[in-house]
Structure 1
Amino acid sequence: MASAPSIHVLDPSRCHLGEGPSYDPATDTAWWVDILEARLFERSLREGDSPARIHTLPFLASDVAAIDAHRQLLSAEDGLYVRTISDGSLSRLCPLEAEMAGNRSNDGRVHPSGALWIGTMSREAETGRGAIYHVAGTRVTRLYGGLTTPNGIAFSPDGATGYFVDTEEGVLRRVSLDPATGLPVAEPETHYDHSHGEGGIDGAAVDADGLIWTARFGAACLDAYSPEGERVRTVPVPVRQPTCPTFAGRNLDCLLVTSGYEGMDKAERAADPDHGRTLLVEVGVRGLLEPAFRLDA
C-alpha cells in the first residue's frame, strides 16, 4: 500500500478558478492561471524563494504550455497567444471559436507530437456549447462537440492514446491516436464511468508508467487510473475543489495541483481553509514533463 503523500501549499495566493499548470525544469519554475480573474502566476520551486509573481492578463486564460526557453503558449477566451517570458508581450497565434460569443477556453494539454488539444466551454456552463480542438501550428481541427465542461485531456507516454472527459457527464474516455500527429484514428471508448460518483473528474496528467492522475473537483482528492481503466489509487488533498495536476520538481515526482473557490459560499470557504490555493503533492511516482508546443507542427 502506498504511503501517505507529503502535501504542502506552494503559495498562499488564492485562485477563483486555478487551472492550466505548467512546469519549467530549466528554471525550476511553476506556472498556472486563475481563469476568472485573468491572472498568470509564476513561482520558483526553490526553497526560500519569495511568493509567486502575479501577471495581469488582458483576457481569460485557461492553460499554460511551453514553446521554448523564451516563450509560452496561453490558451485564451478568443484564441491562442504566444507570450514572451522576459517582458510579458503577447501576440495572437490563431483564433479559437471567434464566432462563439460567450465561450472561453478550458482544459488543454500538448501531445508528444507538439500539437495542442484544447477544450472550450460556455462561460455560464451552458449544456452542449463546449468542444475539443486539435491545434498543430496554426491549423485548428474540431475533434469533438456537444460537450459542456471538457476536461481530463492527457496522453499516454507513447502518444498512441488520448484521454478526455466531459465533467458534467462524468465518463473518462480514451481514444486511439496517431502518435505522429495526435489526431484520433478511432472513435472514443469509455475508460472509467464516474457518472454516479462524488465530485467530478477535472484535469489530468499521465505518469511514466501510464497511470492517469486526475483532480476530482468537489471531492477533495486526486485519483489514479490504470491504462486498463481501473481506479487504482485515491489521494486526499486539503482543498475541496482541486482542478488540474501536472508533474513538477527536479525529479518530476510531485504533482503541482491547482484549485478554485468558484461557486463556494462564505461558509463553504470557511470550512475549506486552503480553498483556491496551489499545492505540491509528493505522490511517490515518476512523472512525465508535458511536451513543448511546436509552432511549426
Structure 2
Amino acid sequence: MSAPELIWDLRAELAEGPVWDADRRCVWFVDIKGRTLNRYGVDDAGKQSWSAPDQIGFALPAEDGSLICGVRGGLYRFDVATGAFSLLQTVEQDRPRNRLNDGFVAPDGSLWFGSMDDSEQQKTGALYRWAAGALTLMDDGYGVSNGPALSPDGTVLYHHDTLDKAVYAFDHADGAIANKRLFATTVDGYADGPSVDSAGVLHVGLFGGWGVGRWAPDGGYLGKIDFPVSAVTKATFGDDDLKTLYCTTAWLGQDDETRAAQPAAGGLFRLRVDTPGLPQNRIRLG
C-alpha cells in the first residue's frame, strides 16, 4: 500500500462522492458546500469544474453517458457535452430543511441515495431507491446519511448514520432490504462515505478520524489507512485494475488555526492498494 498522494489541491469545503468513470478515464466528485461538480482526468491530470443549481451531494454515471446528480430538491441529469443540468425528479419537497447526500448504483442499475438535515441537527434524513423513474422510500430517521454500498454478492447493504458514528447492515435481495442491524461503530472519527472491495472489505471515510477505516465482512476492524488531513469523506476504487483509491477530503467545521495546520484539507488524494475494488455500475434510465 502506498502513502496518500495529493493530486488536486482543490481546498473544497466539503468534497464528497468520488466515482470512477472507466469510459472517460476520470474521477468525478462534488464539493457540496461549494456547489460544484468536478472532474479529474487520470491520464493528463486535467481538471474541470461546473457550477450546480444548488448543493450537490453526488454525481453518478448513467447508461446514456450522462451523470445523475443529487442536488438539493431533486435528481438532475448532467449533460457532459454541454455542462447543462436538467431536473428529472423532485425529492423531499415536504422536507425543505433537507439536502441530498451520498449515493450508489446497484448492479441492477438502480440508484440508491440518502438525504439529511442540512443543519445536521434533526433526524429527518432518509434512504431512497430510484429505479426506472420510480422513487421508493427504503428507510427513515437518519441524522446524516452516507452510502449505501453493497457486498460483492449483493446480499448485504451497508448504510451509515454519520451523526451516530454508526454503520448499519441490511439483508438485501431484489432491490428490497430487511433485518437492519448495527454492523460497526467508529471510534476514530465519524463514519462517512463507504465503498467495498472485491474481497468484501468495507472502506469507510473517517470524518475527523485522519484516514479510511477498514472492516471485514464479519464486522472485525482491520485498521486504518492514515491520511495527512483529518476529514476523509469517501474512498472509491479506480484505474484499469481498480487498485487505486481516490479519496475526497474536507475542511468543513475547521477554524483558521486548524485549517492552517492542514493546508491540503479539501483536496483529492489517491493511493495504491493490494485488493481491487468492484466495477462502477451505471444507472438505468428506461
Q: TM-score, normalised by structure 1?
A: 0.93
After superposing on structure 2, the runs of 4+ consecutive aligned residues of structure 1 that deviate more than 3 Å are: none
Please state if 1:109 is matched with 2:101.
no
CA root-mean-square deviation: 1.3
Task: Measure the CA separation in 1 of the matches of 2:147 and 2:135.
Answer: 20
Residues of 1 paired with 2:112 and 2:212: CA distance? 22
Shift of 1:93: 1.6
User: Alignment partner of 2:179: what SS?
Assistant: coil
Q: Secondary structure, in 3 states, of the residue corresponding to 1:62?
A: strand
Counterpart of 1:187 in 2: which secondary structure? strand
Whether 2:18 is the aligned partner of 1:21: answer yes
SS for the counterpart of 2:258 is helix
Query: Could you say what secondary structure the match of 1:63 adopts?
Result: strand
Q: Partner letter of residue 35 of structure 2?
A: A
- Pick the structure with more strand per residue: 2
Structure 2 residue 198 is matched with structure 1 residue 208? yes
Amino acid at match of 1:114: G
In the TM superposition, residue 67 of structure 1 has moved relative to its aligned partner by: 0.4
Q: Deviations over 1:136-171 (max 9, x none)?
A: 122111111111001141101122210011011122
Matches within 5 A, 1:130-209: 130-178=125-173, 180=174, 182-184=175-177, 186-194=178-186, 197-209=187-199
Hey, what's the Cα distance between the residues in 2 that align with 1:256 and 1:272? Answer: 19
Checking the alignment, whether the CA contact within 8 Å between 1:63 and 1:107 is kept in structure 2 is: yes
Partner amino acid, structure 1, of 2:255 = D
Cross-structure match for 2:82: 87
In 1, Cα distance between equivalents of 2:261 and 2:214: 26
CA contact (8 A) 1:5 1:284 kept: no
| 8 Å contact from structure 1 (residues 170, 201) kept in 2 | yes
Q: Once the 2 structures are TM-superposed, how far is the Cα of residue 36 of structure 1 from its aligned partner?
A: 0.6
Which of 40, 56, 60 is matched with 1:61 structurally? 56
2:267 corresponds in structure 1 to 277
Match of 1:13, SS state, is coil
Normalised TM-score (structure 2):
0.96
The one-letter amino acid of 1:171's match is A
- Match 2:251 to one of 261, 265, 282: 261
| Per-residue deviation, residues 84-123 of structure 1 (Å, max 9, x unmatched) | 1111122222111012112100111111111111110111
Q: What letter is aligned with 1:278?
A: L
Contact 1:23 1:246 survives alignment (8 Å)? yes
Identity fraction in percent: 28
Q: Cα offset for 1:69? A: 5.6
SS across alignment from 2:263: coil
The whole-number CA distance in structure 2 between the counterparts of 1:69 and 1:45 is: 22
From the superposition, tell whether residues 69 and 25 of structure 1 become closer, same or farther in structure 2 (CA, over 3 Å): farther
- The answer to whether the Cα contact below 8 Å between 1:38 and 1:60 also exists between their aligned partners in 2 is yes
Secondary structure in 1 aligned to 2:217? Answer: coil
Aligned with residue 237 of structure 1, among 206, 216, 227 = 227
Q: 1:220 aligns with which of 210, 227, 232?
A: 210
Task: Count how many residue pairs are aligned between Structure 1 and Structure 2.
Answer: 286
Which consecutive residues of structure 1, in runs of 5 or more, have no partner in the other structure? none
Which of these residues, 41, 44, 50, is aligned with residue 44 of structure 1?
A: 41
Distance 1:84 1:9 in 2: 28
Name the structure 1 match of 2:29: 32
